[in-house]
Amino acid sequence: MKLSELLGVTVVTTDGEELGRVHDALLVQDGPVGAQGFAGLRLHALAVGTRSFGTKLGYTQGTVKGPWLLRAMFRRPPTLVPWLAIVHRSAERIVVDRGRIDESR
Amino acid sequence: MNGPGGEPAGRQVWAVLELLDRQLVDRDGRLAGKIDDVDFVVDDDPDALPRVDALLSGLGALANQIGGDFGRWLASIERRLAARRDRAPSRIAWSDVKSIGSSVELAADRDDLDSNRGERWVRDVIIDKVPGAGHEAE
Amino acid sequence: MKKVFGVTLGILTAMGGFVDIGDLVANSATGARYGMSLAWAVVLGVVGIIVFAEMAGRVASVTQRAVFDLVRERLGARAGLVNLGASFFITVLTLIAEVAGVALSFQLVSDVNYLLFIPLVGFAVWLVIWRVKFTTLETVFGLMGLAMIVTIVAIVQLHPDWSSLWHHASHPSVPPGEGRPTYFYFAIALFGAAMTPYEVFFFSSGAVEEKWTRSDLVLNKANVYLGFPLGGLLSLSLMAGAAVVFHPLGVGVDFLSQVALPTSLALGKVGLAFVIVGFVACTFGAALETALSCGYTMSQYFGWQWGKLVRPREAARFHLVVVSSIVVAIVVGVTAIDPIKVTEYSIVLSAAALPLTYFPILVVANDANYMGDDVNGPVRNAIATFYMVLLTVVAAATIPLMIATKAGS
């Protein structure tokens, strides 16, 4: 599975509510130890949001604080959807269990 | 145990923000392309999380991000240029990654990377034929 | 003492390197048609390039990352590719104009048709990039470009009515008989000539080539705050010369020889010699910068090894792009396409493409993780945001105005 296959895919809940599109993937270094002697990266959650442009600028998850005009335009916290909340995944959409999202908050 | 660069395990990395489109640097400090895509391996266990298996760098991988007709055209170029079709031309194994910072450092020499084939081809076929190509830099 | 020398050298090269074929043509043509009433556009452009270049230079010094590397990182591969396409195309267009500009300058002294010089100039540009040290290249052509100071001497020597010149500059108005759209089209051209994207690509990549670090931030500021305004002064004196000589006669500037005329009128053969040396230095220097920038932009987007800081064989694709761009410039140039027209298109399209590259740099300059304490302060951010808005407005207006005014006729 490639990252590019996840990005931009529409995410909906089992109730049919559209949460947005996949912007980013949260990786955590807690996998099995690899050849170089350190833990691998595992995909824990997807960042899902509505706005498509400006997600890489660094206003939401990054450390960009200004200028205030751009910050106002691009600072929109995405919804964090845990990977294990995914019920069904295809090339066009990802269906998630609403209940498991709220659990993680 | 510590991860690449010495940070404690459990470190968070945002794939798009911190890995995608980042500069790859080889063990001699030479630039070796950009991370164009990330490959995960998904185990059969339903409670298992996907693991990063390799970084992808090259025209074919870039085409995945570009998408659309233009992306497909880029991917076809790489297929045609690939020396052997059964190889995975853009793959950099996760085991070659040394550290993740504002650029991603590799433990390998870029001349050993499949993804850097294009550079070697241009060097051998064109640049090395011109006098002064090995001329010492300042 | 060595540091002081380094600073002066930097200022001088910024000043001498600021004027290129676009500035020569735009400032003279505008002075001839509108007198000094568009001087404000030059000032606006010079302040703009100061803001832009200072940020790009600071980011490059602190992070060791050049513009296009960051453009892709912040905008993503797709938007970054669109940006690359536009920026690369405009930079190649500018290269075509600069190579032709050098050839035209040689035509001024030799009566040999400029078309014959084009392949020679192209080859010389490539050879210098291939073999000459980066610092040598910058220093030599920057200092030679100082010959353009003769235009300031010339305008003084012409004894113009200073109060009248100042009055027109400070009370801008569209002259009777001229349309508003064309007036603003010329304003955009002047703006684009002052704020050329390739200058920022080059300045930022050059900072990495010369291994600037945090301790060189003073050098960065000196280059930008002293060098660029002095360069702007050269632009204004070109405009004033044309305003004094051509404007009263209602004559337009369509040839490079006319750009030299005010200086030769004021200072005779000696003045003419200096100004032609200046033309050659400025256009050749700009040709070097644009050819390198063609390589910089493409290599930094794809992550290839770039720059003169390594052996040519270690940056193979970078050098391939550079030589290919020069070949394109030669091939297009010898088709006898009007170099003045190409120049005009390159500066106007530059103005349209500015927001694409300005925006990611503004964002990175505000990234505390990258810049630490060297992030933009509130005052700088206010000015930088103003320019962000201005550049967007200018970019949106450029193509419609170009079509409406039939490219300023």
Residue-wise pLDDT tens digits, C293-319: 999 999 999 999 999 889 999 999 999
Answer whether residue C12 shows pLDDT above 70.
no
Answer whether residue B5 shows pLDDT above 70.
no
The tens digit of pLDDT for each residue in C75-91 reads: 999 999 999 999 999 99
- For residues A1-24, give the mean pLDDT: 91
Residue B23 β-bridge partners: B34
Answer whether residue C220 shows pLDDT above 90.
no
Answer whether residue C330 shows pLDDT above 90.
yes
Cα→Cα distances C250→A74, C216, C230, C244, Å: 50, 48, 29, 11
Residue ranges per structural domain of chain C: 2-404
Contact B40 A2 (CB under 8 A): yes
In a domain, B117, yes or no: yes
pLDDT at residue number C224: 87
Q: What is the ipTM of this complex?
A: 0.89
**Chains in touch with C (≥3 Cβ pairs < 8 A):** A, B
Q: What is the CATH number of domain C2-404?
A: 1.20.1740.10
The tens digit of pLDDT for each residue in A67-88 reads: 888 888 887 888 899 999 998 8
Record the tokens describing residue A36, joined without a space.
């170089």
pLDDT at residue number C15: 72
Q: pLDDT band at C320, cuts 50/70/90? A: very high
Q: For tokens 């040598």, what's the residue?
A: C136
Contact A24 B16 (CB under 8 A): yes
Looking at per-residue pLDDT, the higher value among B79 and B11 belongs to B11
- Cβ atoms of C308 and C209 closer than 8 Å: yes
Contact A25 B14 (CB under 8 A): yes
Q: pLDDT band at A104, cuts 50/70/90? A: very low
Q: Helix C228-245 vs helix C256-302: angle between axes, to the nearest 10 degrees?
A: 150
pLDDT at residue number C227: 86
- The Cα C123–Cα C100 span in angstroms is 13
CB-nearest partner of B17 from A2, A24, A41: A24
Q: Where are the beta strands (DSSP E) in chain B?
A: 12-14, 23-25, 31-34, 37-41, 51-56, 91-93, 97-100, 104-106
The tens digit of pLDDT for each residue in C335-362 reads: 999 999 999 999 999 999 999 899 999 9
pLDDT at residue number C27: 95
Contact A63 C381 (CB under 8 A): no
Share of chain C above pLDDT 70, in %: 96
- The Cα C124–Cα C141 span in angstroms is 14
- For residues A91-99, give the mean pLDDT: 88
pLDDT at residue number A105: 42
Residue ranges per structural domain of chain A: 3-52+78-103
Shortest Cα–Cα distance, A29 to chain B (Å): 5
Task: For strands B31-34 and B104-106, give the pairing.
Answer: unpaired
Cα→Cα distances B113→B31, B56, B78, B90, B93, Å: 12, 11, 15, 9, 10
Cα→Cα distances A82→B26, C26, C241, Å: 34, 57, 68
Length of chain B, in residues: 138
pLDDT at residue number B66: 87
- Cβ atoms of C117 and C106 closer than 8 Å: yes
The tens digit of pLDDT for each residue in C242-286 reads: 999 999 898 888 889 999 999 999 999 999 999 999 999 999 999
- Cβ atoms of C26 and C189 closer than 8 Å: yes
pTM: 0.92
Contact B21 C72 (CB under 8 A): yes
pLDDT at residue number B128: 84
Top mean-pLDDT range of B96-100, C13-17, C49-53: C49-53
Shortest Cα–Cα distance, A60 to chain B (Å): 10
- Cβ atoms of A81 and A101 closer than 8 Å: yes
pLDDT at residue number C1: 53
Terminal-residue alpha carbon distance, chain C? 52
What is the domain extent for residue B74?
A: 23-129
* Closest residue in chain A to residue C384, using alpha carbons only: A67
* CA proximity to C361, closest of C129, C150, C205, C211: C205
Residue C180, number of CB atoms within 10 A of its CB:
10
Per the structure, how many domains does chain B have? Answer: 1
Superfamily (CATH H level) for A3-52+78-103: PRC-barrel domain (2.30.30.240)
Angle (nearest 5°) at CA C144 between C209 and C61: 20
Q: pLDDT band at C205, cuts 50/70/90? A: very high
Contact A47 B14 (CB under 8 A): yes
Q: Is C395 exposed, middle or buried (0-12, 13-18, 19+ CB in 10 A)?
A: middle
In a domain, B61, yes or no: yes
Question: Is the CB of residue A87 less than 8 Å away from at least one CB of chain B?
Answer: no
Q: For tokens 């190579």, what's the residue?
A: C99
The tens digit of pLDDT for each residue in C120-153 reads: 999 999 999 999 888 888 788 888 888 999 999 9
Share of chain A above pLDDT 90, in %: 37
In a domain, B4, yes or no: no
